[in-house]
Structure 1
Amino acid sequence: MLQNRGSFFSLDSNHVNSLEPNKRSFHTLMPAIACKDGKPSILYGTQGGEGQPQTQTAIITRMIDYGMDPQAAINEPRFVWGRTWGEDSESLKIESRVKKEAVDELKERGHHVEVVEEFDGVMGHAQAIRIDEHNFLKGAVDPRGDGAAVGS
């Protein structure tokens, strides 16, 4: 009851997201659990509107395919394409820590690239916990927002 997702409905009866009985509004919560050998191994999630699936994919790929620990995976430069935080966009937003050569190459290939701050909030915020084979927990928080990984 204490949420504002109803604001995503449209009062236009012809809109795909029109307000009507038994209909659910667009929602973007994306917590995830990646399992290894049938047991939880990585717990992670993001906020950031429509950019969340892109951030989720980048973070899990960095941890699984590139062997990064959770904090390194979250800290790495990020990108998002298109609509984010409800604002229409056709640009590829890339944090300024990405090499200039990579940005120039994307522009040369016809992409509309928008370079944003080093750790820009438009990328959303991510958190993760990795559980190792000894059940040791390693937590990580996003430097793009506030928070802390605390355990006991």
Structure 2
Amino acid sequence: MLGCMGADGRPQIQLQLHSAMIDHGLDIQEAIESPQFLSGRFGLGEARDTLHMEGRFPGETLNALTQRGHIVNRWGAWNEMAGHVHGITIDPRSGILGGGSDPRSDGAAGRLADSVPGWP
């Protein structure tokens, strides 16, 4: 379960986090801490197809996207405009909960119960 702010960025953020966990095997905290990108306009006068990317993406990635014609806006390393995400995971076999909290915002993942009562 993930919760995030971000208006039009919300589905983009959720897709990136699910991909990080499912396709790349990251746990929820690692996924939340991964560099994020969002496509869209965040300020007056920006093109609607501006690609905003956190500065932790490799320079080669940004250069390759620019060479392919993308309008790239490089954000700082941990930009709060990339959304604030917090979430939990439940291991389907053991019922163990995992939590993650976004360093881009206030919050923390505290100690969770060892398992979900009644979980198979």
TM range (shorter): 0.7 to 0.9
Matched, 1:62 2:20: yes
Per-residue CA distance 1:58-113 (angstroms, 9 max, x = gap): 001111111110000010001001034xx454311000000000000100111110
Q: Distance in 1 between matches of 2:2 and 2:66?
A: 32
Q: Distance in 2 between matches of 1:68 and 1:55?
A: 15
Counterparts of 1:6-25 in structure 2, within 5 Å, are: none
Residue aligning to 1:141: 101
Q: Distance in 1 between matches of 2:86 and 2:18?
A: 11
Q: TM-score, structure 1 length as denominator?
A: 0.67
Q: Distance in 2 between matches of 1:83 and 1:52?
A: 14
The alpha carbon displacement at 1:119 in A equals 0.8
**Structure 1 unmatched ranges of 5 or more:** 1-42
Q: Distance in 2 between matches of 1:145 and 1:56?
A: 16
Matched, 1:75 2:33: yes
Residue aligning to 1:37: none
Matched, 1:94 2:60: no
Using CA pairs under 8 Å that are at least 6 residues apart, name the structure with larger relative contact order, 1 or 2.
2
The alpha carbon displacement at 1:120 in A equals 0.3
Across the aligned residues of Structure 1 and Structure 2, the Cα RMSD in angstroms comes to 1.3
Aligned residues: 108
Larger Rg: 1
Correspondent of 2:10 among 52, 55, 65: 52
Q: TM-score, structure 2 length as denominator?
A: 0.84
Amino acid at match of 2:99: G
Residue aligning to 2:76: 117
Runs of 4 or more, structure 1, over 2 Å off, are 87-90
Does the Cα contact within 8 Å between 1:50 and 1:83 map onto a contact in 2?
no
Residue aligning to 1:127: 86
Q: Distance in 2 between matches of 1:51 and 1:147?
A: 20
Q: Distance in 1 between matches of 2:83 and 2:25?
A: 22
Correspondent of 1:107 among 53, 66, 88: 66
Amino acid at match of 1:54: Q
